[in-house]
Structure 1
C-alpha cells in the first residue's frame, strides 16, 4: 500500500472509516429496533455491558493493542483480558436470560444478538485496519 499515491491512500482510509461508521450505526439501529418494535425496553440493559466492555482494556492495557495478542507477563493485562471476556459473555447472556424468563420475545432476542455481532465485526475490522504491516483485513 505504500506504493500508492498519497491521495489514493487518503481515499482508502476515508472508505475504511465510512464503513466502520456504517457498521456501528447499524448496530445501534438494531439495538434500538429490538426495543422499539416490540414495545419493551428491557433489551437496552445490554447497552450497559457495551459501555463496560472496553473499560478494563483502557484502564489496564492502555492503548497498546500489541500486548493483547501476545502472551503477557503482566497480571494487569491478564486481568483486563479476563474482565473484557466476562463483559463479552454478559453482552450475549443478558438477552438470552431475558428471553428465558419471558421478558422479551424471539424477535427482540434475534435483533439483540445480531446487534452484538455487528458491533463485534466493527471492532474486529477496526483492529484489523490499524495494523501497519500491510496484512490488514481490508
Structure 2
C-alpha cells in the first residue's frame, strides 16, 4: 500500500475499522437477540466471559500480542496469559452448552449464542491482524 496516495490509505484504514465496528455490533446484537427472542435472559451469563476474555492479554501480554502465537516461550507471564485466555474461551462455549443441557435455554438461543461467540472471535482475530501493520501506529 506504499504506492497509494495518502487519502486512499486513510480510506482503506477507515474501512477496516468500520468492518471491525460492524463485527462487534453484530456480535452484540446476536447476544441480545439470543435472550430477547426466547424471553430467557440466562444466556447473558456469557457476557461475563466476554468481559474477562481480553483481561489476561491486556495485563500480562502487553503490546506484544503476536507473541501469543509463538511456540517456544520462556516467559511464565506469557504462559499464564495463554492459559487464562484459553480458560475464558472454553467458558464462553461451556456456559451456553451447560444451560442447554440443563434445559434452561433452547436450541435457537444456543445457536445464536455460539454464533455471537464466533463473530466476536472473528473480530478479535481481525483486530490482531490489523494491529501488525505499521500504518495504524500513526493514528
Equivalent-residue separation in structure 2 for 1:36 and 1:132 (angstroms): 39
Q: What per-residue deviation string (whole Å, max 9, x for no partner) do you get for residues 53-74 of structure 1?
A: 1111111111211321223211
Does residue 41 in structure 1 map to residue 41 in structure 2?
A: yes
Specify the alignment match of 1:97 in structure 2. Answer: 98
Matched, 1:76 2:74: no
Structure 1 residue 108, shift from structure 2 partner: 0.2
Matched, 1:52 2:78: no
Is 125-134 or 32-41 further displaced after alignment? 125-134
Runs of 5+ unmatched residues, structure 1: none
Q: Does 1:28 align with 2:28?
A: yes
Q: 1:43 and 1:32 mapped to 2: Cα distance?
A: 9
4+ residue segments displaced more than 6 Å: none
Shift of 1:124: 0.8
State the aligned residue count: 134
What is the alpha-carbon distance in structure 2 between the residues aligned to residue 133 and residue 64 of structure 1?
14
Q: What's the CA shift for 1:17?
A: 0.4
Aligned-residue Cα RMSD (Å) equals 1.3
Give the unaligned 5+ runs of structure 2: none
